[in-house]
Amino acid sequence: MQIVVTSPAQSHPVRVACPKCQLEYNLDALVQGQGSHMSTVRCSCGEHFLAVVNARQFDRKSISIRGMYTVLSDSGLGGLVTLRDISEGGVGFTLSVPCELEPGWLITIVFELVGRERRIIVAKATIRSVHGVEIGCAFVNPEQVRQDILTYFNSQGMEF
């Protein structure tokens, strides 16, 4: 089964074309909120394909960088993490030790980007999702870290 990926940024309404006959399907009903959404499409030509809509505001890049976080409260919670993905709007990371974090909590995340130059990033973020030790956060002020992230990926020969 073929996979066809699209995003709201590519067309509105969100459309995807059958890879066999190019018949277009409107996927607006599939997109609710942010994240990725999937559906199997059975085209009238007989083709079955998986339509994937990436409704994220910013593209993510997979990374593996060590860092640390601190909860901005009197709890004293914090620890080491491994950043697993990053975008202009936020970061996903894995806790080194399980901890009871909650969506909505404000944290400071610290990590180093080493490209042509070394850049230490210290950013405030809001926890958006918690799945065991997998945490997703949105930067409170994305413009604060945007240029450092773009410079890092450009120095690695990767577009963002």
Domain-wise residue ranges, the chain: 2-54, 61-155
For residues 75 and 49, the answer to whether their CB atoms sit within 8 Å is: no
Query: How do residues 69-95 score in pLDDT, each as one tens digit?
Result: 999 987 888 999 999 999 888 999 999
CA 106 to centroid of chain Cα atoms: 18
| Distance of alpha carbon 25 from alpha carbon 61, whole angstroms | 28
- At 53 the pLDDT is 75
Average the pLDDT over 107-136 and give the result: 91
Check pLDDT > 70 for residue 33. Answer: no
In this structure, which topology does domain 61-155 adopt according to CATH?
Thrombin, subunit H (2.40.10)
Both tokens assigned to 35: 């994240």
Give just the sign of the alpha carbon dihedral 56, 63, 160, 106.
positive
Backbone region of residue 129 per phi and psi (left: phi > 0; alpha: psi in -120 to 50; beta: other values): beta
In this predicted structure, what is the pLDDT of residue 38? Answer: 75
Between CA 137 and CA 153 the distance in angstroms is 20
| pLDDT of 6 strictly over 70 | no
Mean pLDDT value of segment 62-74:
91
* Chain mean pLDDT for the chain: 83
